A and B are shown apart, each in its own frame.
Chain A
Amino acid sequence: MQVTININGQSVSHDVEPRTLLVHFIREQAALTGTNIGCDSSSCGACTIHLNGEAVKSCTMLAVQADGQEVTTIEGLADGDALHPMQQAFHECHALQCGYCTPGMVMAAVSLLDEKPDATEAEVREGLEGNLCRCTGYHNIVKAVLQVGGAK
């Protein structure tokens, strides 16, 4: 089945089986491997991308469900060499250790602040409940998100 998805501003079109997951379309057809597969069961959030501007888990969507829609992955956030403010804040606050959860965490954090620009620390912690990090204890991640936006 022919599936066309606008990924990071580029139209990507491939003939795929209907059972192809969106995350596989992104990694294998579009060759964008920044989006990780973690638990593969919608618990860990490593595969979080934006679908029409909102965070979703791409392991729990079929590529055909995103046909004709807009997807943004971690590769689409930076403006050339200039990091997105959230990426910059993760860098400055050392909001990562191994980095595996980071692409999904950044995408979830950007979507969170889009919806709640004045999020409190508690709201940031709750808003990131769909993303697991096994290294950092979350502290610096929350700090990074609050550096970009949120209640000061």
Chain B
Amino acid sequence: MIPVAFDYERATSAEQALSLLAEHGDDAKLIAGGHSLLPLMKYRLAAPAVLIDIGRLEELSYIRDEGGELAIGALTRHFDVENSDLVQSQVGLLAAATAEVGDPQVRHRGTIGGAMAHGDPASDLPAALIALGGSLVIDGPSGRRQVDVDSFFTGFLETALSEEEMLVEVRVPKMPESTWSFQKFNRRAQDWAIVGSAVVINNDSCGVGLVNMDSRPIRASAVEEAISNGASATEASELAAEGCEPPADINAGVDYRRHLARVLTRRGLEESGR
């Protein structure tokens, strides 16, 4: 399968990538690892006229300890996140969820920024970022802005990024004492989750993000609230599918997905010590 023809531009700096975006606007797409975009282009579900390659911008590949938070450059590869001592010790859930993305070959190419900017409800990392209460740093013509994870995913493959903006950093609160669990249900080893549940318990607060339970990555607010009001894992997990409108496809219908959300969230809460 070969994508529709396009023009190719290789950005040599983040600044140049932004000016290329400004120049080509709607016709252009950014490509980093390409493991979300290229399959769409090969299936001809996407046909950008211009591809702006940001895959070599070393300046956006880093993991930094910034006091209360870790700052992760958008072009940091899954392989580097999953194997980072800093991520493993400070935000264990993120390391565990990243290790569940695709397979080793995919994780050698895919980036954390790409996974977020793609905004796929079936993707593992957005749900983990929701559970962790992270934020996203966006650069664009009017400068930098920071968006809370709850305002970032706006619809199916839609995010708060405008056509002329670029995701440059993902920020996650450090929680070295947290307990967590990433539950992913699929049929074959490297498949997308049919449903997934990311759970983190830090002190008395609980975060739960769900994979593939709505048109966008979604927070299980009712579960979080129940846990903070003292509910047991069994009681709280009964509320996991509340407010969700899960998709139906060849792998699972709506009711089965609701069932999976409840079971996986209960297992996640239990594994996190609740």
User: B-contacting residues of A (Cβ < 8 Å)?
Assistant: 1, 17-21, 24, 40-43, 45, 48, 51, 54-57, 60-62, 64-65, 108, 111-112, 115, 126-127, 129-131
Contact = CB atoms under 8 A, between A and B. Distances in A.
B5 A65 contact: no
Given A56-B108, A111-B104, A64 B4 contact: no
6 contacts: A18-B6, A42-B105, A56-B105, A56-B108, A65-B53, A129-B189
Interface string B9-40: 01000000000000000000001001100110
B268 interface: no
A41 B36 CA distance: 11
Contact of A19 (B5, B79, B106, B190): B5
Interface in B92-112: 102-106, 108-109
B144 interface: no
B1 A130 contact: no
B194 to A, nearest CB: 16
A64 B8 contact: yes
Interface residues of B, number: 28
Question: What are the nearest 8 A-B pairs in CB distance?
Answer: A130-B103, A18-B8, A129-B189, A54-B108, A19-B3, A130-B105, A57-B105, A129-B103
Given A40-B1, A45-B105, A56-B105, A130 B190 contact: yes
Contacts of B51: 18
A108 B31 CA distance: 24
Contacts of B103: 45, 129-131
Contacts of B35: 42, 60
Contact of B190 (A20, A43, A111): A43
Nearest to B41: A19
A108 B105 CA distance: 8
Contacts, number: 78
Nearest to B55: A65
Given A61-B38, A111-B104, A127-B104, 5 more contacts: A19-B2, A42-B39, A54-B79, A61-B109, A131-B103
Given A55-B104, A56-B105, A130-B104, A19 B4 contact: yes
Contact of B34 (A18, A24, A65): A65
Interface in B190-218: 190
A60 B189 CA distance: 19
A64 B267 CA distance: 44
Contacts of A1: 8
A18 B7 contact: yes
Interface in B61-112: 79, 102-106, 108-109
Contact of B2 (A21, A41, A127): A21
Contact of A64 (B2, B53, B105, B108): B53
Contacts of B38: 60-62
B259 interface: no
Contacts of B55: 65
Contacts of B5: 17-19
A55 B189 contact: no
Contacts of B42: 40-41
Contact of B39 (A41, A129, A130, A131): A41
Contact of A42 (B4, B8, B106): B106
Nearest to A48: B105
B34 A130 contact: no
Contact of A112 (B1, B34, B104, B106): B104
A28 B28 CA distance: 28
A23 B154 CA distance: 35
